[in-house]
Amino acid sequence: MQTNFTPAQLADPHVAESEAILRKCVHCGFCTATCPTYVTLGNELDSPRGRIYLIKDMLENGRPADEEVVTHIDRCLSCLACMTTCPSGVNYMHLVDHARIHIENTYKRPLKDRLMRATLAAVLPYPQRLRLALKAARLGRPFAGLMKRVPLLKTFGVMLDLAPRGLAPPSAAAQPGVRPATTERRGRVAILTGCAQPVLKPEINEATIRLLTRLGVEVVVPEGEGCCGALVHHMGREEQALVAARRNVDVWIKAADEGGLDAIVITASGCGTTIKDYGHMLRLDPAYAEKAARVSVLAKDITEYLASLDLSRQEARNVTVAYHSACSMQHGQRITTVPKLLLKNAGFTVRDPAEGHLCCGSAGTYNILQPEISATLKARKVKNIEATKADIIATGNIGCITQIATGTQMPILHTVELLDWAYGGEKPASLQK
């Protein structure tokens, strides 16, 4: 694609990077076929190619974001299916990240949107605040239907619907410290405790620590870890995301220098995609560029790390699993076959739902901020999953677990919970009911 940026504009490294991305796009439109919002809405401006034109026009003319650009960029799930499909290697992720920062810096949203976004950014990344908010949500749930009928309160009503019915007590797995290997030691990793996941489903990291230590891997929960920054990063709140990234980089580099680390293990693929991008996010910060790149190399999804341990083959068990590949897993990190191979090796029968490339509509805060499109995508996803006639659903991302669970009666678990069970752990509590 031909571009017309001035030398002065290209002196800004963010603009220069976006220009290089734009030049790679050859307008072929292959990406439209796999874009969930184009497939759902049928509008070119809700396709990757349409959004790329909108971003190009906005950046080239150096103008503030307007309502049209904001509408169509907000509808983008950042699922990155377009990057998997694109034959020209267009890095849509970095382009839309830049567009979202530009929107945040130049566009004044209506008051209710600003309030909602500020609330989400102030609550979701902080486990204690999220726990309090979810407790309060229980009181508000009876009014969810009413709130959804009032335009000003609609998004709060959607949040109440998504809030889980029960809440587990704080998990010991989130406490800082070292969990020694319980068999001959063969590795040492740090684990990201995360922000929403330990509140919504602490059993994921509990299963991870049990499994790893049983396999001879020492697990460190470093003091000072926090949210990876993905939630606010996708809202264009660059500085808040970079503060989170720098804090985690400091914590993990300290852990690596003190005791050595083979990996930083991540059990939420949405977080993994962002942490693997820390090297890029902090590339212009001389104090952090090198350390952040080191962290990105160490970052591994739990299934990637488990695959390196050469686990023994287990006897077949009579359980069929529909494997839902999160977008951040398959498109963001390009991890496609590894989780399924691990499950098969562990004795499960694995089925692939149709249209596996399409997002379930979770996408961070998307199911709160774009509830209609999100609900359409969830219904489509659940229909495809249920058509597999599997016993349970496995996936590798807390956002998908929360989203899909509200649309089906099928049990949905994290892949690592099933692997922990297969390699000597208890049957997951959610399957014992």
Shortest Å distance, C-beta 426 to ligand SF4? 38
Q: Which is nearer to ligand SF4, 305 or 366 (CB)?
A: 366
Contacts of 140 (CB under 8 A, 6+ apart): 147, 156, 160
187: three-class secondary structure by DSSP: strand
In whole angstroms, how large is the CA radius of gyration of the chain? 21
Q: Which is nearer to ligand SF4, 78 or 402 (CB)?
A: 78
126 counts as binding ligand SF4 under rule CB under 6 A = no
Element housing 217 (H / E):
strand 217-221
> What is Dmax (Cα atoms) for the chain?
64
| Binding span for ligand SF4 by CB under 6 A among 28-36, 145-153, 336-344, 424-432 | 28-36
| Binding span for ligand SF4 by CB under 6 A among 30-38, 54-62, 348-356, 372-380 | 30-38
414: three-class secondary structure by DSSP: strand
Size of the site for ligand SF4 (CB under 6 A): 26
| Binding span for ligand SF4 by CB under 6 A among 22-30, 107-115, 221-229, 364-372 | 22-30
Among 28, 152, 297, 379, interactor with ligand SF4 by CB under 6 A: 28
37 counts as binding ligand SF4 under rule CB under 6 A = yes
Among 6, 88, 183, 308, interactor with ligand SF4 by CB under 6 A: 88
21 counts as binding ligand SF4 under rule CB under 6 A = no
* Half-sphere exposure (Cβ direction) of 431: Cα atoms closer than 13 Å: 17
30 counts as binding ligand SF4 under rule CB under 6 A = yes
CB of 7 closer than 8 Å to CB of 20: no
DSSP at 234: T
369 counts as binding ligand SF4 under rule CB under 6 A = no
79 counts as binding ligand SF4 under rule CB under 6 A = yes
- The full DSSP string for 41-85 is H--GGGSHHHHHHHHHHHHHTT----HHHHHHHHT-----HHHHH
CB of 38 closer than 8 Å to CB of 81: no
Shortest Å distance, C-beta 367 to ligand SF4? 14
Distances (CA, A) of 398 to 196, 272, 295, 298, 402: 8, 12, 22, 21, 6
387 counts as binding ligand SF4 under rule CB under 6 A = no
Shortest Å distance, C-beta 29 to ligand SF4? 5
Among 15, 17, 55, 78, interactor with ligand SF4 by CB under 6 A: 78
Shortest Å distance, C-beta 155 to ligand SF4? 20
Residue window 91-110: x/- pattern of binding to ligand SF4, with contact defined by CB under 6 A: -x------------------
Q: Which is nearer to ligand SF4, 192 or 359 (CB)?
A: 359
Q: Which is nearer to ligand SF4, 82 or 211 (CB)?
A: 82
395 counts as binding ligand SF4 under rule CB under 6 A = no
Distances (CA, A) of 160 to 12, 140, 173, 323, 403: 42, 7, 27, 28, 13
Distances (CA, A) of 298 to 102, 108, 263, 278, 311: 30, 38, 5, 11, 21
Residue type at position 167: L
Among 55, 82, 99, 227, interactor with ligand SF4 by CB under 6 A: 82
Q: Which is nearer to ligand SF4, 332 or 428 (CB)?
A: 332
Q: Within 10 Å of residue 176's Cβ, how many Cβ atoms? A: 12
Q: Within 10 Å of residue 28's Cβ, how many Cβ atoms? A: 13
Token duo for residue 353: 């739902």
Among 2, 27, 108, 151, interactor with ligand SF4 by CB under 6 A: 27
* C-alpha to C-alpha distance for 320 and 305, rounded to whole angstroms: 24
* C-alpha to C-alpha distance for 47 and 229, rounded to whole angstroms: 26
Q: Which is nearer to ligand SF4, 75 or 131 (CB)?
A: 75
35 counts as binding ligand SF4 under rule CB under 6 A = yes
> What is the binding site for ligand SF4 (CB under 6 A)?
25-31, 35-37, 48-49, 51-52, 76-82, 85-86, 88, 90, 92
